[in-house]
């Protein structure tokens, strides 16, 4: 097993470090000569033109990918997107809009609720697309179209690299929808693809600074509760950061859309509670800052995760982490990295079995 870990202490850390490569591989799988080519996936431009509604259906971290990707699709195209938990979607009596597309996101391709949701959609005559990692898995076999993420085998129960490749698949899908529907020019798409290609190096750069996160994680290890806040894509990434924290560190953690704090959760804020703010979306920066000020005045200990340039964060937060600048739609691929590291290092500091957290399974084939 030591050999399989390639010199890393845990599979999770190894898989975190594999992200630049698997992200690049996933981009390369559908980008040829600077253009997106979906011929391996199946979904045609004509089909994309006709889609009037997208449902993204998934469980766990894959659901969080859907939460992030909905903002990107809605920003690039005029298609409304709904994100649903598979375990809710499958039992819900809802009229699926004609000409809709159901996208099922699943690393394993075997999650019982996600597979059932896929079958439910097919029975209703709705077109389906699977974003799947495991080749030949049930969801990959049964979906009408498949976008394979090229994360390779993921051993750690807490997903990192599969999650990152699912985000990339979501961006590429959003871009191709936009171009096919003539809602984005080829030139604009080309420019964004160039930016997407810089993501692996930027992830690498964040990983070089991992000791700083470890230092902060050691301080966080004694915490009983933690909160993650953000708006838009930053909220979606907070959901994933919070899940990482609770699933491997056993710290009670919640993610909130920053604007919701005042509707309840703020009453839980007391002296010393860690609140992690994610602020990569420039137009929402000041809004989330004001929410951080509110919790700080009630005693919270703040971590600010933002983009290089937003140096005023240091006047507010007790600990600041910067990520490289990129197009705002892709920022989640960078901001999630310090949050993965945070969950990882808190778990290590507490001496837990990082790769095999209690009560959890890698692939959940029961309902
Ligand atoms: C389990 C895993 C999670 C994963 C979820 C969905 O709970 O521990 O990491 O996000 O299932 O799995 P899937 O294989 O469908 O992506």
CB 118 within 8 A of CB 130: yes
* pLDDT for position 258: 95
Provide the residue count of the chain. 367
In this structure, the residue with its CA closest to atom 8 of ligand 1 is 362
Beta bridge partners of 329: none
5 flagged as catalytic = no
Give the whole-angstrom CA distance, residue 15 versus residue 159: 8
**Among 159, 191, 164, 172, residue whose Cα is nearest residue 65:** 164
108 lines ligand 1 (CB under 6 A): yes
Name the closest-CA residue to atom 3, ligand 1: 60
Atom of ligand 1 nearest to the CA of 159: 9
Ligand 1 within 6 A of CB of 111: yes
**Mean pLDDT estimate for the chain:** 95
**Residue 114 Cα: closest atom of ligand 1:** 15
Flag whether the pTM goes above 0.95.
yes
Q: Tell me the per-residue pLDDT of 160-206, one tens digit each, with 9 for 90 and over.
A: 999 999 999 999 999 999 999 999 999 999 999 999 999 999 999 99
Predicted confidence (pLDDT) per residue in 256-273, tens digit:
999 998 898 888 889 999
362 lines ligand 1 (CB under 6 A): yes
Residue 367 confidence (pLDDT): 80
CA angle, residues 261, 267, 271, in degrees to nearest 5: 105
pLDDT(1) > 80: no
Q: Region 75-94: what's the mean pLDDT?
A: 93
List CB contacts of 217: < 8 A, sequence separation 6 or more.
341, 342, 344, 345, 346, 348, 349
59 lines ligand 1 (CB under 6 A): yes
Are 22 and 107 a contacting pair, CB within 8 Å?
no
Q: How far apart are CA 22 and CA 43, in angstroms?
A: 23
Residue owning tokens 């005042």: 262
- Most distant CA atoms of the chain, gap in Å: 56
Burial of residue 5 (CB within 10 Å: 0-12, 13-18, 19+) is middle
Element (H, E) at 195: helix 186-196
Helix axes 199-208, 332-349, angle to 10 degrees: 30
């Amino acid at each position: 097993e030591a050999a399989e870990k390639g010199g890393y202490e845990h599979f999770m850390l190894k898989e975190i470090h594999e992200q630049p490569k698997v992200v690049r591989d996933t981009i390369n799988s559908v980008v040829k000569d600077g253009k997106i080519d979906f011929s391996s996936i199946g979904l045609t431009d004509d089909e994309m033109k006709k889609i009037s509604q997208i449902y993204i259906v998934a469980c766990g971290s894959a659901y969080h990918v859907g939460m992030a990707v909905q903002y990107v699709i809605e920003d690039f195209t005029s298609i409304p997107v709904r994100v649903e938990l598979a375990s809710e979607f499958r039992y819900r009596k809802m009229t699926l809009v004609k000409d809709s597309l159901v996208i099922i996101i699943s690393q394993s391709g075997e999650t019982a609720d996600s597979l059932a949701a896929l079958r439910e959609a097919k029975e209703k005559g709705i077109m389906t697309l699977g974003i799947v990692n495991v080749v030949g898995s049930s969801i990959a076999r049964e979906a009408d179209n498949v976008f394979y993420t090229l994360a390779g085998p993921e051993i750690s129960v807490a997903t990192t690299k599969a999650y990152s490749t699912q985000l990339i698949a979501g961006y590429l899908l959003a871009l191709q929808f936009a171009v096919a529907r003539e809602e984005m020019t080829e030139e604009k798409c080309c420019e964004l693809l160039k930016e997407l290609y810089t993501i692996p190096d930027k992830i690498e750069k964040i990983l070089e600074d991992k000791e700083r996160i470890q230092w902060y994680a050691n301080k966080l290890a004694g915490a009983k509760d933690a909160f993650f806040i953000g708006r838009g894509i930053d909220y979606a990434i907070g959901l994933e950061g919070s899940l990482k924290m609770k699933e491997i560190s056993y710290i009670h953690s919640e993610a909130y859309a920053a604007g919701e704090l005042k509707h309840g959760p703020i009453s839980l804020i007391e002296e010393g509670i860690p609140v992690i703010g994610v602020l990569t979306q420039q137009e929402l920066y000041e809004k989330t800052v004001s929410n951080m000020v509110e919790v700080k005045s009630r005693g919270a200990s703040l971590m600010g995760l933002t983009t290089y340039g937003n140096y005023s964060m240091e006047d507010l937060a007790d600990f600041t982490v910067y990520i490289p600048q990129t197009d705002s739609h892709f920022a989640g691929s960078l901001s999630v990295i310090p949050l993965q590291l945070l969950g990882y290092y808190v778990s290590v500091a507490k001496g837990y079995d990082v790769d095999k957290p209690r009560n959890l399974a890698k692939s959940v084939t029961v309902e």
